[in-house]
Amino acid sequence: MTTATIATGTSTDFGVTDFKANAVQYAEHKRLVEAAAASKYDSIDDAVAALLRVRDAVADQVDRGLGYTPAPDMGFGSRNASEIGATILGIGKSDKDIKKTFSELGK
Protein backbone atom coordinates (compact mmCIF):
# COMPACT_ATOMS: atom_id res chain seq x y z
CA MET A 1 0.00 0.00 0.00
CA THR A 2 1.25 3.48 -0.80
CA THR A 3 0.47 6.78 0.83
CA ALA A 4 -0.60 9.62 -1.43
CA THR A 5 -1.05 13.29 -0.69
CA ILE A 6 -4.16 14.77 -2.25
CA ALA A 7 -4.75 18.43 -3.12
CA THR A 8 -6.07 19.32 0.32
CA GLY A 9 -2.77 18.33 1.87
CA THR A 10 -4.29 15.41 3.76
CA SER A 11 -2.82 11.98 3.40
CA THR A 12 -4.78 8.90 2.45
CA ASP A 13 -3.74 5.25 2.30
CA PHE A 14 -4.84 3.41 -0.81
CA GLY A 15 -3.14 0.54 -2.55
CA VAL A 16 -3.48 -2.55 -4.63
CA THR A 17 -5.45 -4.42 -1.94
CA ASP A 18 -8.06 -1.66 -1.84
CA PHE A 19 -8.11 -1.41 -5.63
CA LYS A 20 -8.66 -5.15 -6.06
CA ALA A 21 -11.35 -5.22 -3.36
CA ASN A 22 -13.19 -2.42 -5.19
CA ALA A 23 -12.92 -4.35 -8.45
CA VAL A 24 -14.45 -7.42 -6.77
CA GLN A 25 -17.36 -5.31 -5.49
CA TYR A 26 -17.88 -3.73 -8.90
CA ALA A 27 -17.75 -7.07 -10.72
CA GLU A 28 -20.28 -8.57 -8.31
CA HIS A 29 -22.72 -5.65 -8.65
CA LYS A 30 -21.84 -4.33 -12.11
CA ARG A 31 -25.35 -4.48 -13.57
CA LEU A 32 -26.80 -2.57 -10.64
CA VAL A 33 -24.08 0.10 -10.64
CA GLU A 34 -24.30 0.61 -14.40
CA ALA A 35 -28.11 0.75 -14.34
CA ALA A 36 -28.01 3.41 -11.62
CA ALA A 37 -25.35 5.39 -13.47
CA ALA A 38 -27.32 5.23 -16.74
CA SER A 39 -30.63 6.19 -15.13
CA LYS A 40 -32.38 9.54 -15.39
CA TYR A 41 -31.01 10.50 -11.97
CA ASP A 42 -28.22 13.02 -11.45
CA SER A 43 -26.22 10.69 -9.24
CA ILE A 44 -26.07 7.11 -8.06
CA ASP A 45 -27.18 8.37 -4.64
CA ASP A 46 -30.39 9.77 -6.20
CA ALA A 47 -30.98 6.49 -8.04
CA VAL A 48 -30.47 4.50 -4.83
CA ALA A 49 -32.91 6.79 -2.98
CA ALA A 50 -35.53 6.20 -5.70
CA LEU A 51 -34.93 2.45 -5.57
CA LEU A 52 -35.44 2.47 -1.82
CA ARG A 53 -38.70 4.46 -2.18
CA VAL A 54 -40.02 1.89 -4.67
CA ARG A 55 -38.89 -0.99 -2.48
CA ASP A 56 -40.62 0.49 0.55
CA ALA A 57 -43.85 1.17 -1.34
CA VAL A 58 -44.01 -2.30 -2.86
CA ALA A 59 -43.02 -3.94 0.46
CA ASP A 60 -45.99 -2.12 2.00
CA GLN A 61 -48.12 -3.54 -0.83
CA VAL A 62 -46.89 -7.03 0.08
CA ASP A 63 -47.81 -6.43 3.72
CA ARG A 64 -51.22 -4.84 3.15
CA GLY A 65 -52.37 -6.00 -0.31
CA LEU A 66 -53.65 -9.48 0.48
CA GLY A 67 -57.29 -8.33 0.39
CA TYR A 68 -57.10 -6.48 -2.94
CA THR A 69 -57.24 -8.28 -6.27
CA PRO A 70 -56.99 -6.02 -9.32
CA ALA A 71 -59.84 -6.15 -11.83
CA PRO A 72 -59.44 -8.88 -14.47
CA ASP A 73 -59.00 -6.33 -17.26
CA MET A 74 -55.81 -5.08 -15.57
CA GLY A 75 -54.03 -8.27 -16.63
CA PHE A 76 -52.94 -9.82 -13.34
CA GLY A 77 -55.28 -12.79 -13.41
CA SER A 78 -56.44 -13.87 -9.97
CA ARG A 79 -53.32 -12.66 -8.14
CA ASN A 80 -53.79 -10.28 -5.24
CA ALA A 81 -51.71 -7.13 -4.72
CA SER A 82 -49.57 -8.87 -2.10
CA GLU A 83 -48.58 -11.67 -4.51
CA ILE A 84 -47.88 -9.14 -7.25
CA GLY A 85 -45.66 -7.10 -4.92
CA ALA A 86 -43.76 -10.19 -3.82
CA THR A 87 -43.10 -11.01 -7.46
CA ILE A 88 -41.85 -7.49 -8.16
CA LEU A 89 -39.47 -7.62 -5.19
CA GLY A 90 -38.21 -11.08 -6.14
CA ILE A 91 -39.46 -12.71 -2.95
CA GLY A 92 -42.35 -14.54 -4.53
CA LYS A 93 -42.83 -16.79 -7.52
CA SER A 94 -40.99 -15.19 -10.42
CA ASP A 95 -43.30 -14.23 -13.24
CA LYS A 96 -42.07 -12.08 -16.13
CA ASP A 97 -45.63 -11.36 -17.26
CA ILE A 98 -46.55 -9.93 -13.85
CA LYS A 99 -43.48 -7.69 -13.87
CA LYS A 100 -44.25 -6.50 -17.40
CA THR A 101 -47.92 -5.85 -16.65
CA PHE A 102 -47.12 -3.98 -13.43
CA SER A 103 -44.54 -1.86 -15.24
CA GLU A 104 -46.99 -1.03 -18.01
CA LEU A 105 -49.66 -0.12 -15.45
CA GLY A 106 -47.26 2.48 -14.04
CA LYS A 107 -46.79 4.25 -17.38
For residues 21 and 55, state if they share a domain: no
Interval 28-42: pLDDT, tens: 989 988 888 888 888
For residues 47 and 94, state if they share a domain: yes
Question: Residue 99: inside a domain, yes or no?
Answer: yes
Question: Residue 65: inside a domain, yes or no?
Answer: yes
pLDDT band per the 50, 70, 90 thresholds, residue 5: low
For residues 37 and 52, state if they share a domain: no
Q: 47 CB contacts (<8 Å, ≥6 apart)?
A: 35, 36, 37, 39, 41
Q: How far apart are CA 59 and CA 3, in angstroms?
A: 45
For residues 46 and 71, state if they share a domain: yes
For residues 52 and 100, state if they share a domain: yes
pLDDT at 27 over 70: yes
Amino acid 1: pLDDT: 52
- Give the count of domains, the chain: 2
Amino acid 91: pLDDT: 84
Against a cut of 0.85, is the pTM above it? no
pLDDT band per the 50, 70, 90 thresholds, residue 107: confident
- DSSP letters, the chain, are -EEEE-TTS-EEEE-HHHHHHHHHHHHHTHHHHHHHHHSSSSSHHHHHHHHHHHHHHHHHHHHHGGG----GGGS-TT--HHHHHHHHHTSS---HHHHHHHHHHT-
Range of the structural domain that residue 17 is part of: 12-41
For residues 33 and 58, state if they share a domain: no
pLDDT band per the 50, 70, 90 thresholds, residue 13: confident
For residues 95 and 84, state if they share a domain: yes
Average pLDDT over residues 11-34: 86
For residues 52 and 83, state if they share a domain: yes
